[in-house]
Chains A and B, each alone.
Chain A
Amino acid sequence: MPITLGLMLALSFVVSLAALAFLIWAISNRQITVDQGDAETIFADGEQGRIDNQGTEAGDAERRHVFDPVAAGIDAVSARPVIILLGTATVWLVLGSIFGLVASMKLHLPDWLNQSAPLTFGRMRTLHLNLVIYGWLSLSGLASVMWIIPRIFHVPLKSPRLVLIGAVLWNIAVALGGLAIASGWTDGEEWLEIPWQIDMLLAAAGACFIAPLVRTARARDVHHIYVSGWYFLAAILWFPVLFIVANIPGLYSGVEEATVNWWFAHNVLGLWLTPLGVGTAYYLIPKIIGRPIYSYAVSLLGFWGLALFYSQVGIHHLIGGPVPTWVVTLSVVHSVMMFLPVIAVAINQHVTVAQNLWALKESVPLRFISFGALMYTMASFQGSIEALRSVNSITHFTHYTVAHAHLGAYAFVSIVMFGAAYYILPRATGRAFPWPGLLKAHFWLVTIGFAVYFFSLTIGGVLQGLAMLDATRPFSESVELMKPYLEARSIGGSLMTLGHLVFAVNLLGLAFYAPRHTQAPVAAE
Chain B
Amino acid sequence: MAHKSDPKRPAEIYEPYEEQAGVPLPVIWIAIALAFWGVLMLYDTGDSVRVSLNDRAEDSEALANVTPDEGASLFEANCATCHQPDGEGLRDAVPPLAGSEVVAAGPGIIARILLRGIDGPLTVADATYDGHMPSFASALSDAEIARLASYVTTRWANGPDGAASSADDVTDLRGEVADLGSFAGGMELARLIPSLPPQPPMPAPSAAPRDDADVLQLVFAGRDEVWSCASCHGDLGQGDETTPRLAGLPAAYITKQLHDFREGTRVNESMHLVASGLTKGEMTALGTYFATLRVPSNAGAVLSGDLARGEELALQGDWSIGVPACFTCHGASGFGVAPGFPGLAAQHAPYTAAQLANWAGGERHNDPLGLMAEISGALSTQDRRAVADYLATRPPVPAVAATMTRMETDDDQ
**Chain A residues whose C-beta falls within 8 Å of the C-beta of B39 in the assembled complex:** 10, 13-14
* Given A325-B45, A336-B34, A54-B361 contact (CB < 8 Å): no
**Chain B residues whose C-beta falls within 8 Å of the C-beta of A287 in the assembled complex:** 10, 14-16
Task: Tell yes or no: B18 within 8 A of A by CB.
Answer: yes
Task: Tell yes or no: B65 within 8 A of A by CB.
Answer: no
**Chain B residues whose C-beta falls within 8 Å of the C-beta of A9 in the assembled complex:** 42-43, 45-46
Q: Which residue of B lies closest to A352 (CB)?
A: B16
Q: Are A6 and B43 in contact (CB under 8 A)?
A: yes
CA A68 to CA B18, docked complex, whole Å = 18
Q: Are A299 and B18 in contact (CB under 8 A)?
A: yes
Q: Are B21 and A362 in contact (CB under 8 A)?
A: no
CA A347 to CA B30, docked complex, whole Å = 14
Q: Are B8 and A336 in contact (CB under 8 A)?
A: no
**Chain A residues whose C-beta falls within 8 Å of the C-beta of B377 in the assembled complex:** 472
* Given A299-B18, A522-B4, A8-B46 contact (CB < 8 Å): yes
Q: Which residues 27-64 of B sit at the A interface, judged by CB distance below 8 A?
A: 27, 30-31, 34-35, 37-50
Task: Tell yes or no: A402 within 8 A of B by CB.
Answer: no
* Given A6-B49, A298-B24, A67-B13 contact (CB < 8 Å): yes
| Residues of chain B whose beta carbon lies under 8 Å from any beta carbon of chain A | 1, 3-4, 6-24, 27, 30-31, 34-35, 37-50, 353-354, 357-358, 360-363, 376-377, 381, 384
Beyond A9-B43, A292-B18, list 5 extra A-B contacts (CB 8 Å).
A294-B21, A295-B23, A325-B48, A332-B41, A347-B24
**Chain A residues whose C-beta falls within 8 Å of the C-beta of B15 in the assembled complex:** 65-67, 152, 287
Q: Are B363 and A474 in contact (CB under 8 A)?
A: yes
Task: Tell yes or no: A226 within 8 A of B by CB.
Answer: yes
Q: Which residue of B lies closest to A328 (CB)?
A: B45
Q: Are B21 and A471 in contact (CB under 8 A)?
A: no
Partner of B11, one of A52, A356, A470: A52
CA A70 to CA B39, docked complex, whole Å = 51
Task: Tell yes or no: A227 within 8 A of B by CB.
Answer: yes
- 3 smallest CB-CB distances across A and B, nearest first, come from A6-B46, A290-B10, A472-B361
Q: Which residues 221-241 of A sit at the B interface, judged by CB distance below 8 A?
A: 226-228
Partner of A286, one of B4, B16, B27: B16
8 pairs across A/B with beta carbons < 8 Å?
A50-B11, A68-B12, A68-B13, A287-B16, A296-B21, A471-B357, A471-B360, A523-B9
Q: Which residues 134-165 of A sit at the B interface, judged by CB distance below 8 A?
A: 152
Partner of A283, one of B16, B44, B360: B16
Q: Are A4 and B361 in contact (CB under 8 A)?
A: no
**Chain B residues whose C-beta falls within 8 Å of the C-beta of A336 in the assembled complex:** 34, 37-38
Q: Are A333 and B38 in contact (CB under 8 A)?
A: yes
CA A473 to CA B354, docked complex, whole Å = 10
CA A285 to CA B18, docked complex, whole Å = 12
* Given A13-B38, A336-B34, A362-B3, A347-B46 contact (CB < 8 Å): no
**Chain A residues whose C-beta falls within 8 Å of the C-beta of B3 in the assembled complex:** 362, 523
CA A333 to CA B17, docked complex, whole Å = 33
**Chain B residues whose C-beta falls within 8 Å of the C-beta of A4 in the assembled complex:** 46-47, 49-50
Q: Which residue of B lies closest to A18 (CB)?
A: B35
Most chain B beta-carbon neighbours within 10 Å: one of A9, A152, A291: A9
Q: Are A301 and B11 in contact (CB under 8 A)?
A: no
Q: Which residue of A lies closest to B48 (CB)?
A: A325
**Chain A residues whose C-beta falls within 8 Å of the C-beta of B45 in the assembled complex:** 5-6, 9, 325-326, 329-330
Report A136 CB to chain B, min CB distance, Å.
26
Partner of A298, one of B13, B27, B358: B27
Q: Which residue of B lies closest to A50 (CB)?
A: B13
Q: Are B42 and A297 in contact (CB under 8 A)?
A: no
Q: Are A53 and B11 in contact (CB under 8 A)?
A: yes
Q: Which residue of A lies closest to B50 (CB)?
A: A4
Task: Tell yes or no: A48 within 8 A of B by CB.
Answer: yes
Partner of A10, one of B14, B22, B46, B354: B46
Task: Tell yes or no: A520 within 8 A of B by CB.
Answer: yes
Q: Are B41 and A292 in contact (CB under 8 A)?
A: no
Task: Tell yes or no: A422 within 8 A of B by CB.
Answer: no
Partner of A343, one of B7, B27, B43, B353: B27
Partner of A301, one of B23, B49, B376: B23
CA A111 to CA B41, docked complex, whole Å = 47
Most chain A beta-carbon neighbours within 10 Å: one of B8, B46, B377: B46
* Given A298-B27, A337-B34, A362-B6, A65-B17 contact (CB < 8 Å): yes
Task: Tell yes or no: A255 within 8 A of B by CB.
Answer: no
